Amino acid sequence: RRVLFRSERVCDRVIIIDKGKLLLDGKPDELVAMHSSGTLERLFTQLTGGTELERRAEDFAKTFRS
């Protein structure tokens, strides 16, 4: 996640690829604005289904906390 945070501030162009498929290509600030995601990290998560993976990981972790 740190990579996305830094990429958003340093890179002129980013490419988001998921499972070998090109999802987006462009300037970070323009991509974030175009998709109303707020940050590059949120945009990446939305496009790659990361929110579902995070939810499943949290559910799995809960089984060990009980």
pLDDT in tens, the chain (66 residues): 557 777 888 889 999 998 899 999 999 999 999 999 998 988 988 888 876 777 777 888 888 876
How many whole angstroms separate alpha carbon 33 and alpha carbon 18?
A: 20
pTM over 0.75: no
Long-range CB contacts (< 8 A, 24+ apart) of 9-14?
A: 14/40
One-letter identity of residue 58: E
* Sign of the dihedral through C-alpha 34, 44, 18, 57: negative
**What was the pLDDT predicted at 49?**
81
**What was the pLDDT predicted at 1?**
52
